[in-house]
Amino acid sequence: MVVAFQGEPGAYSEAAAQRFAPGADVLPCPSFEEVFRTVETGTAALGVLPIENSIGGTIHRNYDLLLEHALRIVGDLELRVVHSLIALPGTAIDEIKTIYSHPQALAQCDKYLRSLPGVEVVATYDTAGSAKLIKDRQLKGAAAIASERAAAVFELAVLESGIQDFSDNITRFLVVAPASAAADPQPTNKTTVVFTLANEAGALFRALSVFALRGIHLTKLESRPIPGRPWEYLFYLDLAVGAEDPRCDRALAHLAEFAPMLRNLGSYASTLLPRSTAAASTVAAGDRA
């Protein structure tokens, strides 16, 4: 089985892919769009994509892509993000003039970066890709913020580890598969949907009430602008209930009565870590990774 992820080898998303499907072949892709296309065309059976970080927030582009492509969510997982400052061997921290990394990683290390006066911060497409850039170009006086695995892959030195602003730095990933893929036989316990509402008083209250009335816990609510329709929004919602639970179908049927558009993006067996465990996890992985 092939699992696609965005980034270079050593990226945090690669670690998430390996954790979700141990032993699978992993396929690096240059962009999130390419991950979706790779799964949609059957080149990969699954795609692993970061969707939100406990410090940096939501990766909005992946919410948009979920709606643009005919894929369904088949799982999710959380991994702890441990960022390191890495550079060519023999480099000292006081020699660093430029630091490269993905914007989410830079945001997650904001306090650390502000403690390095005079250092230029450059955003790139990927954390591990930043490490590769330094290796390929032999950039002296430059460093990347990436994982320790990226340092090992590209034969770089770890100058400092754990430089993220908060130790509880966790990224949640979604796992996507073709809509036509066979359903996993294991019971599901989570459902993700997207819907629109009329722009009128009480519309969102009525939408959320269909779940409250049935005792369905909501674990995530995200709004996204609808392109070409100013000030109108899509609502993405995670329900702590699977397709086997009759409350799920009843709530969604109720919502469909007044939601102009409603799409079920997938019911799946969530593998999220308990909050007390997630923060203590020793697996280094993270956003866009």
Do 178 and 156 share a domain, yes or no? no
- pLDDT at residue 168 in the model: 86
Domain assignment present for residue 289? The answer is no
Q: Which of 38, 91, 124, 171 is catalytic?
A: 171
**Catalytic residue among 5, 154, 173, 211, which?**
173
Enumerate residue ranges in the chain where pLDDT < 50. 273-289
Same domain assignment for residues 177 and 35: yes
Residue 173 catalytic? yes
101 in the same domain as 75? no
Tokens found for residue 266: 């997938």
- Residue 125 CB burial class (10 angstroms; 0-12, 13-18, ≥19): middle
Q: Percent helix, strand, coil in the chain (nearest 5)?
A: 30, 30, 40
CA 151 centroid distance within chain: 22
The answer to the question of residue 284 being in a domain is no
Q: Assess whether 198 and 96 both reside in one domain.
A: no
Looking at the structure, tell me whether residues 39 and 149 fall in a common domain. no
Residues 176, 143, single domain; the answer is: no
- Is 252 in the same domain as 205? yes
In a domain, 285, yes or no: no
Over the stretch 101-144, which tens digit does the pLDDT of each residue have? Answer: 999 999 999 999 999 989 999 999 899 999 999 999 999 999 99
| Within a domain: 283 | no
CB atoms within 10 A of CB 119: 16
Are 145 and 14 within one domain?
A: no
Q: Are residues 41 and 175 in the same domain?
A: yes
Query: Does residue 7 sit in the same domain as residue 77?
Result: yes
Whether residue 48 is found in the same domain as residue 175: yes
Rounded Cα distance, 158 and 145, in Å: 10
In this prediction, residue 55 carries a pLDDT of: 86
Q: Which domain holds residue 100?
A: 84-161
User: Do residues 159 and 243 touch, judged by C-beta distance below 8 A?
Assistant: no
Inside any domain, residue 226: yes
- Token duo for residue 255: 């919502």
HEC assignment per residue over 81-120: CCCEEEECCCCCHHHCCEEEECHHHHHHCHHHHHCCCCCE
Contact call for residues 17 and 29 (beta carbons, < 8 A): no
**Can 171 be counted among the known catalytic residues?**
yes
- 44 is a domain residue: yes
In a domain, 143, yes or no: yes
For residue 245, tell me if it sits in a domain: yes
Number of domains in the chain: 3
> Residue 116's domain is classified under what CATH number?
3.40.190.10
C-alpha span between 90 and 94 (Å, rounded): 12
Same domain, 104 and 127: yes
**Does residue 11 contact residue 2 with C-beta atoms inside 8 Å?**
no
